[in-house]
Structure formats: structure tokens, C-alpha cells
Amino acid sequence: MERIAYVMRLKPDMVEGYKEAHQRVWPELIEAGTRAGVRNHSCFVRGNAVIIYLETEDYAATVRELSDKDVVKRWNAYMADYFDGGIQAQQSEPWEEVFHMD
């Protein structure tokens, strides 16, 4: 199982809206993620920093499968205004895991 983590920055005036949007994540988005192998997906907010965490068997395959999904494209477009510099400017390689304890 691969454990994936990202850190992103929200626009300071969009933090509450981001939290509210995640109280009503689209069921079809969750379905698409589950079908693509996403497990244990979480977002954590402190100030305007967001840590995004997920687990999947094959991250590269999951990204490939989700990148073609219309619902993912629509969600990313919907979320873009929340992020400082837009969502595309924020996306990068996941952080390297150097320790894990079960």
C-alpha cells in the first residue's frame, strides 16, 4: 500500500469555503476515487495550509485513471479558486515517506 501526502496552500479568505465544500463532496467523486483504488483519503487544514493524504495500491495507476474522469475535472475546476495560485500551480510530487508506524 502506498501512502501519499501533499501540502497545498489555500487563499486565506477561502479557508472556510474550502471546509464547507468538503462537507458535501460529490458522491460520484468519491465513487470514482474508490473505483480507482483510493482508500483512507483525508484532508487536514491548519491556517491556510492543507495536508492531503490518501492510500492506494498503485499511485501512478490511480492518477492515470482519475485524470480522465469528467467528475474529477469538474471538482478540480470547482476547487481551483480556493488555492493560492490555482490548483494546477499547487500540484507537485507527493512527499517522500521516511517513517511509518502502525
Backbone angles phi, psi at 67, to 5 degrees: -65, -25
93: its cell numbers = 510530487
Annotated active-site residue 41? The verdict is no
What SS3 class is residue 3?
Answer: strand
Q: What span, in angstroms and rounded, lies between the C-alpha atoms of 82 and 9? A: 9
Catalytic residue, from 7, 17, 22, 64: name it: 22
Query: Which positions are annotated as active-site residues?
Result: 22
